[in-house]
């Protein structure tokens, strides 16, 4: 029986991780985010009420479960406080169910400004970031000049680090970008006011998780973004600034890799992407509009229309390899209910030759055109179905084919956004 399970996006994000993490939290004791920041938008729908979590782990709606923001996350404290306040108003947040790593780096106001300004300077080379300051915050972490959540607990240390950072940032903001710089005292007061409210949650989460594991607690590791947005293994430079793949669950929480039991990849039954970068199976025109409307494919963080396309088996096989996937969750099957024909990409044509391995290289991927196999649609409503065997035969065949192409079995299917619109094949915690 698995105790510690990692959930990752197997595509370019927005695969439905939030919904799946919420469901699996029932079997877990603790849910921990291990990377990314509020570039994430994880949707959970419970009793017709919709929640979109950006920093809060998606298990927070369950009573008596602990949620942890791990070391590898970058935290915008204003956004976090906003999420806490909304949950407090609804009586969901009790002050005992959240722990924030003292090692998690802070997103500062200048990170957001730099993110947006640098994107603007890039012109048509832009990445299409969420503008939330994610990249600049991770840059400072790597440059060893970042400010951590734990620094909020020592106002003198915080002021010192802030001063050094603002001096350096203002130099660039004023002399290169020709914009108005930041004032130390303003940022200091804003952050100290927030610190007062979130300080009680800031702890050594690695130790907390270690102790919980020794007490046989079950832990769900919630990834953000998706495999193809991974800084090392994604379609660089059109990626985010963290490792989004399963290995990051270890370094992003301070739990040794030998303690992780399973990695489960979440994939849509088709593909979407937000922001710039290559996307070989992308659709355009009316076909794209129809899929986008049916799937409600608008960004949960920025509201941007998502780019949509057919399922890409090369990309999924790649995600299976990079994450060492043990199981798949295939979501949004219902979105395909009304299509006469479905396409699945089984190879690429690259410089006149067929390739079947995903090249995680943006320049090469730009030159790839998809080779499709065609599937007949099932033309039936799948949203009420609770068992795999009850799905229309053609939908079953479609799922079986995705399993075959990726070499990984589906453990759950999702046929709607609500909790109960789920087909459990093999609960990864209990079987
Ligand atoms: P995440 O970032 O991976 O958590 O995914 P998002 O929340 O950004 O995007 C997934 C969207 O699809 C959300 O609006 C969900 O409510 C919705 N969703 C999740 N699973 C399903 C499904 O099986 N069918 C449909 N129709 N919608 C789903
Ligand atoms: P969830 O967790 C989809 C994309 C952005 C952009 C690139 C870099 O909801 O799946 P960043 O702001 O991270 O520097 O932007 O990554 N991106 C996402 N796309 N879902 C996400 O998160 C994303 N987080 C970042 O659109 O292309
Ligand atoms: Mg999302």
Domains along the sequence of the chain with CATH: 4-104+201-263 (3.40.440.10), 106-198 (1.10.300.10), 268-424 (3.90.170.10)
- Mean pLDDT computed over 320-328: 98
370-392, pLDDT tens digit by residue?
999 999 999 999 999 999 999 99
- Mean pLDDT computed over 127-133: 97
- In the predicted model, what is the mean pLDDT of the chain? 97
pLDDT classification of 263: cutoffs 50, 70, 90: very high
Q: How far apart are CA 331 and CA 268, in angstroms?
A: 5
- Judge contact between 212 and 199, C-beta under 8 A: no
Tokens of 261: 């039991």
pLDDT classification of 431: cutoffs 50, 70, 90: confident
pLDDT for 94 equals 85
The residue whose C-alpha atom lies closest to atom 25 belonging to ligand 1 is 416
User: What is the crossing angle of helices 313-323 and 393-406, to 10°?
Assistant: 50
| For ligand 2, mutation pick of 79, 225, 238 (most atoms within 8 Å of CB) | 225
Q: How far apart are CA 107 and CA 77, in angstroms?
A: 7
C-beta atoms surrounding 227 within 10 Å: 33
pLDDT for 360 equals 82
Q: How far apart are CA 270 and CA 421, in angstroms?
A: 18
Rounded distance from Cα 42 to ligand 1 centre (Å): 8
Our answer on whether the CB atom of 300 is closer than 6 Å to any ligand 1 atom is: yes
Phi, psi of 101 (to 5 degrees): -70, 135
User: Which residues are known to be catalytic?
Assistant: 14, 42
DSSP-derived secondary structure for 214-242: HTT--EEEE--S-GGG-TTTSSTTSS-SS
Does the structure show a pLDDT above 90 at 302? no
Phi, psi of 312 (to 5 degrees): -120, 105
Q: What is the CA radius of gyration of the chain?
A: 22
In sequence order, the β-bridge partners of residue 36 are 73
- Mean pLDDT computed over 126-135: 97
Q: What is the number of residues in the chain?
A: 431
Taking Cα atoms as reference points, which of 219, 218, 238 lies closest to residue 228? 238
Q: Considering the chain, what percentage of its residues have pLDDT values greater than 70?
A: 100
Kindly list the protein residues that place their beta carbon closer than 5 angstroms to ligand 3, a single-atom ion: 14, 41, 300
Rounded distance from Cα 18 to ligand 1 centre (Å): 7
Rounded distance from Cα 167 to ligand 3 centre (Å): 35
**Closest atom of ligand 1 to CA, residue 43:** 7
Q: How far apart are CA 299 and CA 256, in angstroms?
A: 34
59-115, pLDDT tens digit by residue?
999 999 999 999 999 999 999 999 999 999 999 998 889 999 999 999 999 999 999
pLDDT for 95 equals 87
Q: Identify the residues whose C-beta falls under 6 Å from ligand 2.
A: 9, 12-14, 39-42, 127-130, 132, 134-135, 224-226, 229, 240-241, 274-275, 300
- Mean pLDDT computed over 262-289: 97
Where b means 16+ CB within 10 Å and e means fewer, 275-286 reads: bbbbbbbbbeee
pTM above 0.95, yes or no: yes
pLDDT classification of 301: cutoffs 50, 70, 90: confident
5-19, pLDDT tens digit by residue?
999 999 999 999 999
- Beta carbons within 8 Å of 421's beta carbon, 6+ residues apart: 334, 383, 384, 414, 415
């Amino acid at each position: 029986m698995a105790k510690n399970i990692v959930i990752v996006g197997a595509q370019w994000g927005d695969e439905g991780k939030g919904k799946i993490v919420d469901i699996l939290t029932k079997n877990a004791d603790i849910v921990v985010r291990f990377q990314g920041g509020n570039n994430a938008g994880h949707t959970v729908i419970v009793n017709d009420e919709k929640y979109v979590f950006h920093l809060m782990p998606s298990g927070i709606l369950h009573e008596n479960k602990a949620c942890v923001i791990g070391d590898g996350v970058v935290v915008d404290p204003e956004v976090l406080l906003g999420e806490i306040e909304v949950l407090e108003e609804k009586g969901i947040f009790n002050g005992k169910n959240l722990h924030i790593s003292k090692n998690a780096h802070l997103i500062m106001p200048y990170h957001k400004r730099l993110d947006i300004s640098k994107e603007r300077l890039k012109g048509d080379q832009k990445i299409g970031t969420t503008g939330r300051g994610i990249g600049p915050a991770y840059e400072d972490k790597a440059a060893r000049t970042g400010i951590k959540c734990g620094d909020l607990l020592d106002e003198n240390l915080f002021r010192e680090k802030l001063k050094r950072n603002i001096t350096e940032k203002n130099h660039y903001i004023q002399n290169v970008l020709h914009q108005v710089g930041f004032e130390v005292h303003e940022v200091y007061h804003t952050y100290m006011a927030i610190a007062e409210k979130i300080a009680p949650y800031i702890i050594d989460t690695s130790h907390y998780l270690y102790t919980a594991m020794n007490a046989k607690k079950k832990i769900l590791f919630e990834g953000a973004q998706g495999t193809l947005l991974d800084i090392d293994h994604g379609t660089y430079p059109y990626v985010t600034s963290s490792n989004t793949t399963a290995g990051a669950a270890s370094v992003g929480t301070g739990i040794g890799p030998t303690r992780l039991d399973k990695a489960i990849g979440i994939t849509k039954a088709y593909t979407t992407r937000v922001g710039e970068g290559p996307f070989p199976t992308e659709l355009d025109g009316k076909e794209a509009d129809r899929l986008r409307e049916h799937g409600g494919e608008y960004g949960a963080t920025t509201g941007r229309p998502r780019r949509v396309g057919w399922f890409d088996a090369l990309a999924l096989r790649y995600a299976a390899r990079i994450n060492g996937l043990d199981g798949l969750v295939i979501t949004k099957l219902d979105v395909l209910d009304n299509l006469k024909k479905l396409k699945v990409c089984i190879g690429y044509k690259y410089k006149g030759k067929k390739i079947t391995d995903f090249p995680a290289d943006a320049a090469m991927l730009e030159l790839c055109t998809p080779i499709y196999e065609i599937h007949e649609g099932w033309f039936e409503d799948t949203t009420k179905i609770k068992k795999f065997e009850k799905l229309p035969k053609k939908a079953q065949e479609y799922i079986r084919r995705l399993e075959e192409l990726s070499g990984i079995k589906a453990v759950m299917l999702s046929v709607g956004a609500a909790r109960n619109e789920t087909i459990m094949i093999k609960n990864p915690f209990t079987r």
